[in-house]
Each structure stands twice: as structure tokens, then as C-alpha cells.
Amino acid sequence: MQWETVIGLEIHAQLATRSKIFSASSTQYGAEPNSQANAVDLGMPGVLPVLNREAVHMAIKFALATKAEIGTRSVFARKNYFYPDLPKGYQISQMSLPIVGTGIVPVELDDGEIKMVGLTRAHLEEDAGKSVHENFHNATGVDLNRAGTPLLEIVSEPDMRSAKEAVAYARKIHTLVRYIEICDGNMQEGSFRCDANVSVRPVGQEELGTRSEIKNVNSFRFLERAINFEVERQIDILEDGGTVVQETRLYDADKDETRSMRSKEEANDYRYFPDPDLLPVQIEDELIESLRASMPELPDARRKRFISEYELSEYDAGVMTADRATADYFETVIDKSGASPKLACSWISGELFSRLNKESLELGESPVDTERFSGLVARIHDNTISGKIGKEILDKMWSGNDNADTIIDNEGLRQISDSSEIESMIDEVIAANPDQLAEYRSGKEKLLSYFVGQVMKASRGKANPGELNKLLQEKLKG
């Protein structure tokens, strides 16, 4: 039988606020356990949650970025369950009236096709704390620093038909939330988490198969592997005549498999009800309009503009708009260097990125800022230096504080484009290599590169390669 895979994703994006969603505790990652958990986060009696304005604004920005409906009147609800890292015995979330309603996210697939993925909703909620199961004798340790961190749970329609499509959609949301600066997207630290609802059905069948929910996936690579494993598992069960059980499954990256999370099976009755501690949230049109005006150019629009305005290829435009920091860096460099966009793009995606990758640095941590990088690209653009010398200068800029012009002047690296100067070097090289010259003239044209190398060496790498080639070929002909 032919099977069709059906996938919907629930993405938890941690909102980049300074304080928690309902309290004034810090959301900073990595602090001493429980040093950022106040009376509200601990669920002490008598405390009241007060909603963080910035979290509301960020949710609205997400709605604007995905052209989703904005719930102008949204309501918080209690989701009740018992777990040690949830001190109140309920999580404050949203149920029937979420802050973000339905929307559409266009997702570009590998083959260039655009897939429209429906958003069901996105709602605000608080994160739980963290349980540490190791390190303690016959006990579990609870750290509540994360309790109360604002999350936007982004729920998609079951519109994806393969693990690849699911990953493309997740990446799209990941890019988007970082672009509009509502989430730092750090998957290792858990700022961006994906749960996948996966089911299979015979091709052509309308009705959805029984799904399982995969949790604990903290990279895009694992998301793809977890879904593929789960699809295989379900098809095996069905083809053996069995039935798929609706359950939550945990992905184990070490074993590359999903396994049943039995502890959560019985507790699926969350008894949602409106939280009496929180009033309905009213969102006025003026607020929406002022946030709309503050929105940056979104990645899709920017990519299209890079293609039309800068004549970048589809591929290059994709690389230059993969995240906002790169796109900003690129446009600043074009602006400051006066270089062609193509040149700026190739130096950023080639030389700059390879150095950053080597040292596992983010663009924001680059030792060479836009100012100095532009200075370098400008000198390559105006032929003061060759690309080869440019790479050497970039290495020096990487480990020091000088700008390109200073290094060029101090080390006498200016490119020699003056034809009489190059000609005299060529003459010397030809005079010193009479045998090679004779061979070249008798048809061994491969020796051209030998001569190029000799002259380049004589110029200590500074001869303008275009000029050198042209003059050398003329001279060799005799």
C-alpha cells in the first residue's frame, strides 16, 4: 500500500523579553538555580500575575509577520496538571480565545516550489521549570528559573506531507521570529522547541490516521530524523495489521528512535478554565497600527528586493537574507564600500563566513565589523589590492585592530597596475628563462602559467592579475 504522511507542528518560541510573562523576575539563561524565581514564579499563596506588555506586543508582531488574525480580545486559561516543576498545579495558557488566530506561512521547498502552510493559532503561555533527575540521591531537583518565561506556542495545520516539508516550515518560522526579534532562536538552550504531530494514511484517504506527538526535538536535523523514524514505525504497525496508539513519544537522539512517554498518558484531562486572576486582554487598533509601522522588512520581501535591486542570484539572495544580521551586514557593506553587491556578497559568504565558522562565531561576534570589512572590500573593488592580498589582509584584520588601508600602507601591499612597471618585471623574467620561452614559442602554451607565477613572485603578489596576463601574453608572442 502507498502511504501518505501528515505532519503538524507545535513550536514553542521563547519570547525575548527581559522579565517573565507574569512577574518581574529576569529571564536570563544560565543563572544559579532558583535565583530568578520570585514569589509569583513559585506559586506562593496570595500572589497575582500581571501580564508583561512586551510579550503581548511580540505576539502581535508575529501575527503581523504571518498575516494572521489578531485576537483583539484574548483570554488566559488555566491548564491543570500536576508536575513538580509546575508549582501552581496549573500552567497559565490560552485556550478558546488565543491572541493570534489563523494565518498562512509560505514555505519555500528544496525544489523551489512554494508550499502554503496554514497556522491554526498562536497563543501566549508561561514555561514550566526544569527537573534535574541526575545528581541527587533518591530525589529530583527542581529549578524554577525558567518557570514563567513567556512562550508563544505556534500551532500549524496538519499541512506538511514529509519530514523535509516540516523542517522547511520550522526553519521558516525560526527565521521569522529572529527577524522580528521576538525570539533568539537558540535551540540548544531551548528557546525554540518543536513538537511534531505525525500520522500516516493510505494515499487518497480523506480521514486522518491516528497521530502520535513527538517531543524533545532540539535541532532541525533531529526533527527530520525523528519524523522519518516515526513514519516508518507507524507504517510497520499498520502493514502488520496493528493499530497506532495516540500517545506522546520522546525522541532519543542517541538511539535515533522515538519511544512512548507513559507517564503522560493518563493525564490528558487538563480541565481548562478561564484564569480568574487575569482579566481579558484588549488590543486596540492604534496599538496594532503602531506595531505594524515598527515592523522590519520581512525576509521574503528582502530576498526579492536583493534579487531585483542588487541583481543577486536566487541562491546568493537566500544566503544574504538567511537572518537579519547577515542582511543588515551586507547592506551596510555595500553602502559603505561602494563595492558591487556581487563582490560584497562573495566576500561575506566566502571569506567572512568561513573564518566565523572556523571559530564558531556568530556574525554579531565577528572581530571585523562592517566598518573595517567595508574598508577592505572597497580596496578590492577599486583594484588597490588583489583578492589574494585581500585574504591576507583580512587575516591580519582578524587578529588585530588595524583597518585595511593602514595594513596596505604599512606593508606596501598596493597592487601594481602600472603597465610599464609590470612590463619591466615581465622582461626580467623572460630574460632569465630563455629555455622556457623557446618551449612556449614552439607550442607548449601550458608554460604561460609558469611565467605568470614567476612574474607574480617577482611582484611579491602585488601585480594586477588581469593586467599581468594581458601584457605577458603579448610579450611571449614576441
Residues at the contact surface with another protein, assessed by CB under 8 A: 17-19, 23-26, 32-39, 42, 50-56, 75, 80, 82-84, 97, 131-133, 135-136, 138-144, 250, 261, 263, 267, 269, 271, 274, 276, 278-282
Give CA 430 to chain center in angstroms.
54
Closer CB to another protein, residue 145 or residue 384?
Answer: 145
Q: How many CB atoms lie within 10 A of CB 282?
A: 9
Q: What is the SS3 string spanning 443-466?
A: CCCCHHHHHHHHHHHHCCCCECHH
Which residue number, 205 or 294, has a Cβ lying nearer to another protein? 294
Closest CB 148 distance from another protein, rounded Å? 11
**Nearest-approach distance from CB 94 to another protein, in angstroms:** 11
**Which residue, 96 or 360, is less far from another protein as judged by CB?**
96
Residue whose CB is less far from another protein, 48 or 114: 48
CB of 234 to another protein, least distance (A): 23
- Cβ burial, residue 204 (10 Å; 0-12/13-18/19+): exposed
Residue 85 or 421: the one with the smaller Cβ distance to another protein is 85
Taking the complex as a whole, how short is the minimal distance between the CB of residue 254 and another protein, in angstroms? 15
Q: With respect to another protein, which residue has the nearer C-beta, 85 or 439?
A: 85
State in angstroms the smallest separation of the CB of 114 from another protein: 36
The end-to-end CA distance of the chain, in Å, is 75
How far apart (Å, rounded) are the C-alpha atoms in residues 152 and 155? Answer: 10
Considering the complex, state which of residue 8 and residue 129 has its C-beta at the smaller distance from another protein.
129
Which residue's entry shows cell 592580498?
A: 389
In the complex, the smallest distance separating the C-beta of residue 268 from another protein, rounded to whole angstroms, is: 10
**Amino acid in the structure at residue 235:** I
Nearer to another protein, 49 or 209 (CB): 49
Cell numbers representing residue 124 in the block: 501566549
Cell readout for 383 is 583594484
* Smallest distance, another protein to C-beta of residue 41, A: 9
As a whole number of angstroms, the distance between CA 175 and CA 74 comes to 26
- The stretches of 214-279 forming alpha helices (DSSP H) are 220-239
Grid coordinates belonging to 358: 572556523
Q: What single DSSP character describes residue 167? A: H
Q: Is residue 148 within 8 Å of 44, Cβ to Cβ?
A: no
Q: How many Å apart are CA 181 and CA 32, to the nearest integer?
A: 26
The Cα 360–Cα 258 span in angstroms is 30
Residue found under cell 600602507:
409
Minimum CB separation from another protein for residue 21, in Å? Answer: 10
Measuring CA to CA, how many Å separate 187 from each of 14, 72, 219?
Answer: 10, 31, 6
Nearest to 347 by CA among 314, 309, 380: 380
Note whether 124 and 152 are within 8 A (CB).
Answer: yes
- From the list 235, 227, 266, 265, the residue with the least C-alpha distance to 248 is 265
Angle of helix 387-399 versus helix 370-381 axis, rounded to 10 = 160
Residue among 8 and 87 whose Cβ is closer to another protein: 87
Least Å distance between CB 141 and another protein?
3
Q: Minimum CB separation from another protein for residue 81, in Å?
A: 8
Nearest alpha carbon to residue 252 among 215, 210, 200: 215
- The smaller minimum CB distance to another protein, of residues 84 and 338, is found at 84
Q: How far is the CB of 226 from another protein (least distance, A)?
A: 17
Q: Which is nearer to another protein, 51 or 307 (CB)?
A: 51
